[in-house]
Each structure stands twice: as structure tokens, then as C-alpha cells.
Amino acid sequence: MLRLRYSYRTVITFSENIFSHHFLLRCIPRESEAQKIVESICTILPDDKKTWSTDSFGNTLLTGYMGNFHNYFEFCSEGVVELYDYKIQEKLNPLFLYSSKLTQPMNKIPEISNGIKLSENGSVHENIFIISNAVNASLNYVSGITSVHTTAEEALALGQGVCQDFAHVMIAVCRHHGIAARYVTGFIQGEGFTHAWIEYHHGGVWYAFDPTHNRPANDGYIKLAHGRDYSDCAIDKGVFKGLAQQKLEVFLKVEQEQ
């Protein structure tokens, strides 16, 4: 068991006053047998009016509305989690076998998938390594080159991307080979940025793998949300009125609790 304290704060500053601002956040860790929430609080500024709910994937949502003029928006999610072996027992929702908007195969996904020789006698876990190796061979980690709308196909064509793109390509290839896979957002111990990895389903259990680091996502991964792809688990979304430049600052700290 690993006990981690996390503190995640996002500050968006607007160059002009904005109003009629609606937001939707998935910034609260998800409870499961692999992850117990010991302590969790979230505050929102400038107006801490929020509503709790759960989306159809079971992720915790915080939503709210600020009607009046304001020029910054801040949310801070803090707490302590206990991490156990990253295995989640759950009956398979077949949804995760099928392609989704951002993982839709065109030419590149079938091409890379068909080029991968999966071991016939080996376990799914071995095959996951083979797939991740192939994904890493076709993508270079380059930050800032892709956006939240980039599809797996586009990232492959580019040959570059960030954790989101690694996860999308990996999920698309898994699904191509009949392995159910889903997208996960969260934090990793010792890293100052939010991260994305995948979960794959085998024998009634979800296991986690981190294609960006090309390793199983076992120790120090705090999970916030999962879905078919990024679009199901965006950490913060918002719409507002007013013309303004936005400046985004993220402060994330994940440390072992003494």
C-alpha cells in the first residue's frame, strides 16, 4: 500500500472580465478497490458554488455557474489516497471494445496494428508490452504539437504527441486486436503535470498500463476518471461570455504521506 498526498490547483486568469461562465470538472480521485480516498476537498474561486454528480462512466463531476463578472477562475483539489495493487474487478462493458471519436481507425491504425505480431501463446499482459513497444516506436514524445482534439490517426500520421496521444493510439491498437481498453486521466507521484494512461480488460479485471513511459501503471498512479477516450474524461471544461485572453497555470504536487 502506498499513501499519497496530492494537491492540484489550476488558475486561469482572464485579460478582461468575463461572465455567464459555466464549468465542468473531473478533478476528484475515483474510489475503487485499487484506490481508497482517505481525504478529499475541493474549493473553487471566486465563487465556491458547485454541484456534485456522477457521469455515466461513474466519474465524479463538479459543475457550476458564475453569472457575474470575474477575471480569474481557480479550482483546487487536495487530499490523501491509499493505493493498492492496480487491479479493478469489473464486468466488461462491451463499449470499450469499439472505436470512439478520437480513436476511430482510418488507415494508420490498421496499418500499425497489422504490423504488430502478437504472441499466440503468450498472455494478454505480454501482448500489451508488445503493443506499447510498437506505439513507442511510432510516436515520439513532443509536447505542444498536438491538441485535445487530435485523434489517434492524426497523432500517428505526425509521429509525435503527448501522453494523451500515446494513450489514444494504444487504445485504438488494443481495440483493433480485440482487447477492451479505456482512457484514464490522473496524477503520477513525483510529476508536476496531469497524466493519461490506459486500462485494459482481461479475465474480468482492468489492469493499467502507461504507454508514455512504456511500463505498467502500477505504483504511484492516482486515477481521476476513465472513459472511451479523452473526450469522456477532460479534467476541466468551461464556456463563458466575453472576449479575453486566458492564461493557464497548473500546480500539482503528489508526494508520499509520512
Partner 1 sequence: MYSLLIKQKDTVNRWMERFGVRFGIYKNGVFNEQIFPFDPIPRIITNSDWAEIEAGLIQRVNALNLFLEDIYNEKRIVKEGIIPEEFIYSSKGYLAQCEGITPPKGIFSHISGIDLVQAKDGTWYVLEDNLRIPSGASYPMIARDITRKASPETFSNNKVYDNRNYSSLIRKAMDYVNVDNGLEVILTPGRYNSAYFEHSYLAEKAGVLLAYADDLIVENDMVYYKGLFDKKERVGVIYRRISDEYLDPLAFESTSLLGVPNLMRAYAKGHVAIMNALGNGVADDKGIYYFVPKMVEFYLGEKAILKNAPTYLPYFEEDKRFVLDNLKTLVIKDVAEAGGYGVMFGKDMDQNQLDNIRNLIETDSRRWIAQEVIDFIDLEIMEGEEKVYRKSDLRAFVVSEAETHVWRSGLTRYTRNPTSFVVNSSQGGGFKDTWVMKK
Could you tell me the smallest distance in angstroms from the CB atom of residue 158 to partner 1? Answer: 22
Could you tell me the smallest distance in angstroms from the CB atom of residue 63 to partner 1? Answer: 5
Could you tell me the smallest distance in angstroms from the CB atom of residue 28 to partner 1? Answer: 15
Could you tell me the smallest distance in angstroms from the CB atom of residue 150 to partner 1? Answer: 14
Q: By CB under 8 A, name the binding residues for partner 1.
A: 20, 22-24, 49, 51, 53, 55-57, 61, 63, 65, 67, 94-95, 97-99, 227-228, 232, 237-239
Which CB sits closer to partner 1, 57 or 129? 57
Which CB sits closer to partner 1, 29 or 105? 105
Which CB sits closer to partner 1, 47 or 74? 47
Which CB sits closer to partner 1, 10 or 132? 10
Please tell me the distance from the alpha carbon of residue 214 to that of residue 212, in angstroms, as a whole number.
5
Could you tell me the smallest distance in angstroms from the CB atom of residue 107 to partner 1? Answer: 12
Which CB sits closer to partner 1, 19 or 84? 19
